[in-house]
């Protein structure tokens, strides 16, 4: 009998846009029956004083990701808010903490995927994914993109790309993920769960 793949959804979500997408990604993963997902968050590096000035809400009530989170799971989906078209410092600090895993090749061959949140339509959905790939390459992770099979058309402005699901938060953060964006996140979760389970069990085990 095929075993369920364990997938970690690792996010940084200052204003909860990424966390909202993460819940849809998790729903897609869990719905396959091939995998089970847990949402984690990256440790905050900003001081409480700065967070107060930024009017940031309390962090999502989920476990904090550590390097051990990567060794104890079969695959990872990273939820990343864009900063100037790149990763935020918090994600960079997390990847910088994985040096021992890099040195030992502990993550070699594990799959990973990405979804993002940007302030504007052209604020970095693709460049954020591109900026993450060097970390994947050095750690030996296998990048699994969303691909071109998003369930949504182009009849309205939405976040996301073939690189991964996404949302557009708006310059003031007031826009929340739309139904179509959440549907795409769910589709990405289903796709990633299927790929990961095949890597864990072998494709024949899922037939």
Round to whole Å and give the CA distance between 82 and 85: 6
Secondary structure (H, E, C), 123-179: CCHHHHHHHHHHHHHHHCCEECCCCCCCCCCCCCCCCCECCECEEECCCCCCCCCCH
Write out pLDDT tens, residues 41-78: 999 999 999 999 999 999 999 999 999 999 999 999 99
Confidence of residue 150 (pLDDT cuts 50, 70, 90): low
Model confidence at 206: pLDDT above 60 = no
- Tell me how many domains the chain contains: 1
Domain membership of residue 157 as a residue range:
5-205
Mean pLDDT over residues 180-204, rounded? 91
Residue 187 has pLDDT above 90, yes or no: yes
Query: What is the mean pLDDT of the segment spanning 31-47?
Result: 96
**74-112 confidence digits (pLDDT tens):** 999 999 999 999 999 999 999 999 999 999 999 999 999
* CA atoms of 70 and 133, how far apart (whole Å): 16
Say what the alpha-carbon torsion angle 176, 179, 180, 181 is, to the nearest 10 degrees.
40
Q: Is the pLDDT of residue 153 over 70?
A: no
Supply the CATH number for residue 72's domain. Answer: 3.40.50.360
Closest CA to 172 of 55, 7, 36: 55
- Tell me: the pLDDT tens digits for 155-176? 677 888 899 999 998 878 788 9
Residue 121: per-residue pLDDT: 83
Query: Which phi-psi region, left, alpha or beta, contains residue 62 (left: φ > 0; alpha: ψ -120 to 50)?
Result: beta
Which DSSP helix (H) or strand (E) runs through 185?
helix 179-201
């Amino acid at each position: 009998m095929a075993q369920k793949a364990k997938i970690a959804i690792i996010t940084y979500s200052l204003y909860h846009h990424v966390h909202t997408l993460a819940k849809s990604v998790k729903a897609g993963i869990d719905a396959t029956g091939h995998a089970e997902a847990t949402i984690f968050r990256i440790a905050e590096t900003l001081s409480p004083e700065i967070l107060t000035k930024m009017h940031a809400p309390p962090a999502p009530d989920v476990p904090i990701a550590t390097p051990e989170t990567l060794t104890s799971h079969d695959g990872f989906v990273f939820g990343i808010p864009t900063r100037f078209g790149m990763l935020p410092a918090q994600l960079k600090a997390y990847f910088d903490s994985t040096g021992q895993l890099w040195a030992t090749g502990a993550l070699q061959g594990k799959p990973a995927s990405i979804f993002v949140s940007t302030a504007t339509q052209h604020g970095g959905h693709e460049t954020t994914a591109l900026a993450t790939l060097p970390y994947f390459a050095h750690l030996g992770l296998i990048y699994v993109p969303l691909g071109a099979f998003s369930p949504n058309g182009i009849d309205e402005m939405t976040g996301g790309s073939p690189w991964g699901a996404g949302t557009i938060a708006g310059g003031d953060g007031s826009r929340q993920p739309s139904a179509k964006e959440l549907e795409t996140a769910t589709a990405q979760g289903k796709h990633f769960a299927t790929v990961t389970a095949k890597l864990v069990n072998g494709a024949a085990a899922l037939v």
